[in-house]
Structure 1
Amino acid sequence: MFQGIITTVLMLLFLAGWAWAWSPRRKRDFDEAAQLPLESDEENTR
């Protein structure tokens, strides 16, 4: 019984994290973060 509750809670946390990551409101933040390695390379080569 206890293991089923833990499994359910962990699955709900996983689904909440997945929904947060794929939320359209987060797209701009993730796009900016994806560009960070490219921007730092440009600054280091100058």
Structure 2
Amino acid sequence: MISGILTALLMILFIGVAVWAYSARQKPRFREAEMLPLIEDTRATKEDQA
């Protein structure tokens, strides 16, 4: 009984997180985060040139 309730709660939580992650309001935030590895660190570039 308790394991069934726990399973249902975790499934609802998972679906909620998936809906949140794929919502249109989160797209700009995730677009910025996915570009972070491609942005050069200016501090590292200046240290390399010195």
TM category, shorter: 0.7 to 0.9
Mind listing any 5+ residue stretches in structure 2 that lack a counterpart?
A: none
Instruction: Give % identity.
Output: 47
Mind listing any 5+ residue stretches in structure 1 that lack a counterpart?
A: none
Aligned length: 45
Displaced runs of 4 or more, over 2 A? 43-46
| Structure 2 counterpart of 1:37 | 37
**What is the CA RMSD across the aligned residues, in angstroms?**
1.4
Alpha-carbon distance in 2 for matches of 1:12, 1:31: 26
Q: How does 1:1-46 map to 2 (within 5 A)?
A: 1-40=1-40, 43=42, 44-45=44-45
The normalised TM-score by structure 1 is 0.85
Which has the higher Rg, Structure 1 or Structure 2? 2
Specify the SS of the correspondent of 1:36: helix
